[in-house]
Chains A and B, each alone.
Chain A
Amino acid sequence: MTRLSNTFARLKKEGRAAFVPFITAGDPDMDTSFAILEKLPAAGADVIELGLPFTDPMADGPAVQAASVRALAAGCTTAKVLKLIEKFRKADKTTPIVLMGYYNNVHAYGTARFVKDVAHSGVDGLIIVDLPMEEDEVLRVPAKAQGVDLIRFVTPTTDDARLKRIVADASGYLYYVSVAGVTGTKSVPEEEVRAAITRIRAATDLPCTVGFGIRTPEQAAAIASIADGVVVGSAIVSRVADNIAHGKERVVAEVLELSRSLAGSTHAARHGKVPA
């Protein structure tokens, strides 16, 4: 059992969905980012998605782009992100961390060295936005050998034939992108997500989280009743942006406050049974 499979098994038993906050590593700086990361589990995070900043985040909207810009301006590097995770992992042995980013940073680090170093620092999964199944073997196979899952996407444009091939080599969980678009720009369409999750459940037993377009506790609750996990990103990193002028303590407090409220509604929603 991995930390990811343990977490999803436990949540399933408890009959609730995972709350999965996304923050960009090093945003607005390394220390503040650690202060947030460290307290996210207590604020209700079941799994944490940690963004690896990139200069050219093609699949992200303005909020997450701005988070990358802030982190890079403050000197964030891949090595520092791995140290951040290592420090987190010393104190927290159970909350899975999934590192999310773009392939060029992995490629530049060297794929073999990258999977070894992320596994060593305590990363449980990788989400590489621009690595579709046609290209992911180079990373998926060596990552798996280190016990790290490469999380695959399913989207509104994925048809049944493709879905079948995606789930065939998938592990950890699936990430359903609720809208065709970049992060943080459209609202999650609940009925379409329900239909999609039904379709995905028919194809696999893997847990399925939903992200892109979930901003409010109400939306989180609605998705929590359908899916195995609720990912919130843009709303959280926007909270960082909105509070920077008020100081770092305020940034940490506001992000945790929002996380608690999103986690609360995610956890309170009845995990409705979707017919297989």
Chain B
Amino acid sequence: MNQIPNSLRSSPDASGHFGAYGGRFVAETLMPLVLSLETAYEAAKKDPSFQAELSGLLKHYVGRESPLYFAERLTEHLGGAKIYLKREDLNHTGAHKINNCLGQILLARRMGKTRIIAETGAGQHGVATATVAARFGLPCTVYMGEVDMERQKPNVFRMRLLGAEVKGVSSGSRTLKDATNEALRDWVANVHDTFYIIGSVVGPHPYPALVRDFQAVIGAETRAQMLDREKRLPDLVVACVGGGSNAAGMFHAFLDDSGVEIHGVEAAGDGVNTPRHAATISKGTPGVLHGARSYLLQDADGQILEAHSISAGLDYPGIGPEHSWLKDIGRVKYHSVTDQESLDAFMMLSKLEGIIPALEPAHAIAHVSKIAGQMKKDQVIVVCLSGRGDKDIFSVAEKLGEKL
């Protein structure tokens, strides 16, 4: 089980394990559902009509493929490697989340489910879920921590405009982890008609695999676009990591390209040596939460610690099991970036490129700004710009001491 397979792209194994991580740690009530989801997904993967419907929607509804943009002024400013941005921020709804939501709602329809639920942190996944639910005429309930509802107000309103019911969650840290608990509780009580659209590469098998697969379009396009533009593969691929879906989707195509270095960027909040951060891989230990074994922020007794990040989408004490495995085998290096560094990168990209990034990928930009200058000018970096920053202007304004 702990042997490294020939291809790093063939995980998970049949029981949903990435090395020692993953699995299906859910209540017995949910187990038959999780198994039937797996069966439905395996069948859909092989069904050309499913794939055709999905690619049609990705093209005409989402606007794929998304551009691979050469950030010329950013490159000049940092004075080293050439930096390309994979523009997931230009997708319909403004982030990568929609790629996954479309795949999952098509699965829900295949399985005859008539009601959609989701959890959300930054609200991007909630908006994307509400969007596809509206598109297919299914009722939708989104769980969101009260803290996140406050800092991502525009997205709460957007979800309601799309016809979704947004339920505030007041337990625990009132953020993404607690919204996920509440969504799981809803699911177990409504298994007969409800499909749970999970927003990242977390949860019980097959979710980490299927969310990764639906996001893998990011890396597949990027790899082809890069070969077309630069006639070669990038030296470094970078993505921010909350649960890890934009990263997993970007990395997947490159895992077997041994010449390509891969970096995941976590949220360090006030700093990884303070109690206020969300650097699950850098500072966590393996444990079991939300259906899978993976790295977690927890105390010695296994109680989950609250994560902290300025970015609601990265404010989660867990991470997808595939990332835990990629860390342990050393294929991906995980770094972290503080709130302040991400804010600086947010401003820098806005001013240099005319692109206001979401605070989540601002973490990836901040990491790149630390290392691009030390790389050679003929080297190439690709960053996944997972979403746009409109949703964040209120919290950024507050940080800057401005009232909107």
Binding site for B on A (CB under 8 A): 54-59, 61, 65, 72, 77-78, 102-109, 129-135, 152-159, 162, 166, 177, 180-182, 185-186
Asked if B167 is at the interface of the complex by the 8 Å CB criterion, the answer is: no
Q: Give residues of chain B (333-387) contacting chain A, Cβ–Cβ below 8 Å.
A: none
Q: Complex formed: what's the CA distance from A226 to B314 in Å?
A: 49
Contact A154 B28 (CB under 8 A): yes
Partner of A61, one of B177, B184, B185: B185
Bound state CA distance, A140 and B353, in angstroms?
Answer: 57
Which of B33, B286, B287, B289 counts the most A-chain CB atoms under 10 A from its CB? Answer: B289
Q: Is B275 an interface residue (CB 8 A)?
A: no
The 4 A-B pairs with the shortest beta carbon distances in the complex, nearest first, are A108-B302, A181-B189, A153-B28, A105-B302
B289 touches A56 (CB 8 A): yes
From the candidates B287, B290, B301, B303, name the one contacting A58 in the complex (CB within 8 A).
B290
Q: Is the CB of B32 within 8 A of A182?
A: no
Interface membership of B311, Cβ < 8 A: no
Chain B residue at minimal CB-CB distance from A128? B25
Listed residue (B24, B299, B303) with the most chain A CB atoms within 10 angstroms of its CB: B303
Are A105 and B301 touching (Cβ within 8 A)? yes
Task: Compute how far the CA of A34 lies from the CA of B238 in the bound complex, rounded to whole angstroms.
Answer: 53
A157 touches B289 (CB 8 A): no
Residues in A with CB closer than 8 Å to B291 are 130
Q: Does B114 contact A (CB under 8 A)?
A: no
Taking A153-B27, A180-B190 as given, write out 14 further A-B residue pairs in contact, using a Cβ cutoff of 8 Å, ordered by the A residue number. Answer: A59-B185, A77-B301, A103-B25, A108-B302, A109-B302, A132-B27, A132-B28, A132-B31, A134-B23, A135-B23, A155-B29, A157-B31, A181-B188, A181-B189
Contact of A131 with B25 at beta-carbon distance under 8 Å, contacts A56-B172, A56-B177, A162-B32 already known = yes
B contact patch SS: mixed
28 contacts between A and B (CB under 8 A): A54-B303, A55-B303, A56-B172, A56-B178, A56-B290, A58-B181, A58-B184, A58-B290, A72-B303, A103-B25, A103-B288, A104-B289, A104-B304, A105-B301, A105-B302, A107-B287, A108-B301, A132-B28, A134-B23, A134-B24, A134-B31, A135-B25, A155-B28, A157-B29, A158-B32, A180-B190, A180-B192, A181-B189
B26 to A, closest residue via Cβ:
A130
B184 neighbours in A (Cβ, 8 Å): 58
Contact check, A104 vs B296: say whether CB atoms are below 8 A apart. Answer: yes
Within 8 Å by CB of B27, from A129, A166, A186, lies: A129
A182 touches B189 (CB 8 A): yes
Question: From residue A113, how far is it (CB to closest CB) to chain B in Å?
Answer: 13
Q: Which residues of A contact B181 (CB under 8 A)?
A: 56-58
Cβ of B1 under 8 Å from chain A = no
Question: Are A159 and B32 touching (Cβ within 8 A)?
Answer: yes
Chain B contact residues, CB within 8 Å of chain A: 15, 23-33, 171-172, 177-178, 181, 184-185, 188-192, 286-291, 293, 296, 298-304
CA distance A155 to B31 in the complex (A): 10
Assembled-state Cα–Cα distance A102/B190 (Å): 21
Evaluate contact between B189 and A56: CB separation under 8 angstroms: no
Cβ of B188 and Cβ of A182 under 8 Å apart?
yes
- B24-A56 in contact (CB<8A): no
Cα–Cα, bound, A54→B181 (Å): 12
Q: Which of the residues B24, B28, B171, B298 comes within 8 Å of A177, measured between beta carbons?
A: B28
Known: A157-B32, A177-B28. A56 touches B185 (CB 8 A): no
Alpha-carbon distance between A58 and B189 when the two chains are bound, in angstroms: 12
For residue A167, give the distance in angstroms from its CB to the closest CB of chain B. Answer: 13
**In the complex the two chains form, what is the Cα distance from A177 to B30 in whole Å?**
12
Cβ contacts under 8 Å, A57 to chain B: 181
B301 with A59: CB separation less than 8 A:
no
Task: Name the residue of chain B whose CB is nearest to the CB of A77.
Answer: B301
Residue of A whose beta carbon sits closest to that of B27: A59
Task: Knowing A65-B171, A104-B287, A135-B23, say if A180 contacts B32 (CB, 8 Å).
Answer: no
* Interface pair A108/B300, CB less than 8 Å apart: yes
Q: How far is the CA of A62 from the CA of B301 in the complex (A)?
A: 22
Q: Which chain B residue shows the least CB distance to A59?
A: B27
Complex Cα gap A102–B302 (Å):
10
Chain B residues, Cβ within 8 Å of A133: 28, 31
Are A180 and B29 in contact (CB-based, < 8 A)?
A: yes
Q: Once bound together, how far apart are the Cα atoms of A56 and B188, in whole Å? A: 15
**Residues of B contacting A153 in the complex (Cβ-Cβ under 8 angstroms):** 27-29
Q: Which residues of B contact A182 (CB under 8 A)?
A: 185, 188-189
For residue A107, which residues in chain B have a CB less than 8 angstroms away from its CB?
286-288, 293, 302
Separation of A137 and B119 alpha carbons in the complex (Å): 31
Least Cβ–Cβ distance between B86 and chain A, in angstroms: 34
Q: Which residue of A lies closest to B25 (CB)?
A: A130
